Chain A
């Protein structure tokens, strides 16, 4: 059972380049989330989705876009990468509230992204 899988695991970009981070979950979860984690700080929410075809902004959405075309996938895009986006990115998922309102979020292992 793979759970939440993030690709790639590592990436180095130059300023101004674009890329897409992929998150895939095989647990049939409705809700999916993208967080970033910077040194000495907790995780901060970038964007989230409560179902296929829906997305919403989190705490730090600027410079990022997301898409949820399929229920199992949640994509995070950087259109023009900046050094301030150097971080570790985590994806998470959880069931919808009908399954259980107090279900924990399940996390992937993260994508380590460096912007030069």
Chain B
């Protein structure tokens, strides 16, 4: 059974700092990995999707990397802003046809002004 772990569970940083969020998974037979953002009381917004054949994806100040063989992914946020405060979830999709996701429990990020 696939298990996804995110460390740390919570993180507080001053504005402007660069930071890294970590995600690990136990079964390397994945099809892709996604990073989501969740704001309080809201649904999930997809930030980045990395295919299993890719090493990284970038969108603006966000960069996600994937090391499938070691079962790890990182989300790098450059020059953090208070608006980045949210919970960040990573999820992996198996190679099966339904593409259902297995989620980590998330990292709650607070960026202090």
Contacts and interface: CB of A to CB of B under 8 A. Distances in A.
Contacts of B98: 31, 48, 50, 56
Interface stretch (A62-70, A79-87, A106-114): A106-114
Interface stretch (B14-22, B41-49, B62-70, B78-86): B41-49
A102 B43 contact: no
Interface in A1-30: 4
B4 A94 contact: no
B99 interface: yes
Interface residues of A, number: 28
Interface residues of B, number: 27
A105 B98 CA distance: 11
Contacts, number: 65
Contacts of A50: 97-98
Given A42-B106, A105-B34, 14 more contacts: A4-B43, A33-B101, A35-B103, A42-B6, A43-B91, A45-B101, A45-B102, A56-B98, A97-B99, A102-B32, A102-B49, A104-B46, A105-B46, A107-B44
Contacts of B58: none
Interface of B: 4, 6, 9, 31-32, 34, 36, 41-46, 49, 51, 89, 91, 97-106
A106 B101 CA distance: 12
- B contact patch SS: strand
A48 B97 CA distance: 12
Interface of A: 4, 31, 33, 35, 40-45, 48, 50, 56, 58-59, 90, 92, 94, 97, 101-102, 104-110
Contacts of A59: 102
A44 B100 contact: no
Contacts of B49: 102, 104
A110 B51 CA distance: 27
A33 B4 CA distance: 19
